[in-house]
Amino acid sequence: MKPGKLQRQVQLAMLTAVALVLHVIESLLPPLPVPGAKIGLANVATLITLRHMDFWPGVAVSAIRSILGSIISGKFWGLGFWMSFAGATVSAVAMGISLRLSRPDASLVWTSVIGGIVHASCQLIIAVAAMRQPALFAGAPLLLGLSIITAVSIGIVCDNLDAPAQRLMQSGKRG
Amino acid sequence: MKRNTVLPVLLILVSGLALVAFGIYRHERSPEGSMVIVKSIGKDENRVVARQSLSSDETVTIPVEGPLGTTMVEIVGDRAHVVSSPCPDKVCIRMGWLRRVGDYSACLPNRVLVEVVDQ
């Protein structure tokens, strides 16, 4: 095993655990009045992984978090699971691509907003396909607007987490 | 956050608020519906379980059978809502009262769709 590989695995496991805890905490909070709209707390962990580790670890944290999260909350394999899984994974891929394209010191708010918009669109498309009810697209402005607002907040949170995350990534390297 | 990112972030926040305001405004302006349709979401097509006029004063309760059990839809005068559902997340109940054209409530786990239309 290459030196540092174990450390990366431990960091990845910790980030996945953090994502899972945030996911569960969010499911305990009173939901937003608009169905489908979410605060996206677990996205904090995805964004941190994408920025401080790499593209695929970030996508993996997001996908594994939604699988384990839905098992814990008893929604595994239902339509709700597929909406959450597809939304989380596709938005993580979109955020990863946007991070690759932006400057390394750019604010995470943009990435978060892109992720939020992709997530909301993904959920809406799956819901419309599942119900065969294109009329649901009427709710799109409200859903997108709410997800932009929450995504900006999450992005600001992540920007402020840069220093602690850096410390987590660097810890142990000296020892 | 750096100085030069504050303004763009504020701008995008305002655009988000504008979208929300637009969505609420459009919803408030849509006319009241005259009929509620209760559907069961099938594998290939949606089956209409019940159509109920929203003009009468009486209270009607419509049970809908789904894979998880029975979802109860209640129509009181000119509005309708989902009263009880066996699903885990209760999104359908949280959607509250439906009265305007385009209002809907859906229970994806139990495959029930309630929508208000104009006829």
User: pLDDT for B12-46, tens place per residue?
Assistant: 889 889 988 888 888 888 888 888 888 888 777 77
Looking at the fold, whether B67 and B13 belong to one and the same domain comes out as no
Tell me the two tokens of residue A124. Answer: 């809406």
Count of domains observed in chain B = 2
Predicted pLDDT of residue A73? 78
B87 shares a domain with B55: yes
pLDDT of residue A175 exceeding 50: no
Q: Residue B46 and residue A145: Cβ atoms within 8 Å?
A: no
> Model-level pTM?
0.82
Domains recognised in chain A with CATH numbers: 5-170 (1.10.1760.20)
Do B47 and B22 reside in the same domain of the chain?
A: no
Mean pLDDT for chain A overall: 84
What are the residues whose beta carbons fall under 8 Å from the beta carbon of B81, sequence distance 6 or more? B73, B74, B93, B95, B96, B97, B98, B105
The pLDDT of residue B5 is 75
Tell me the pLDDT tens digit for each residue of A68-94. 988 887 777 777 788 889 989 999 999
The pLDDT value given to residue B3? 64
The range of the structural domain enclosing residue B8 comes to: 1-30
Determine the residue among B94, B100, B108, B115 to mutate to test chain A binding: the one whose Cβ has the most chain A Cβ atoms within 10 Å. Answer: B108
B46 with B8, same domain: the answer is no
The verdict on B26 and B39 lying in the same domain is no
Q: What are the residue ranges in chain B where pLDDT is below 50?
A: none
Asked whether residue B17 falls in the same domain as residue B74, the answer is no
Facing residue for A131 by CB, picked from B20, B21, B106: B106
Q: Are residues B49 and B76 in the same domain?
A: yes
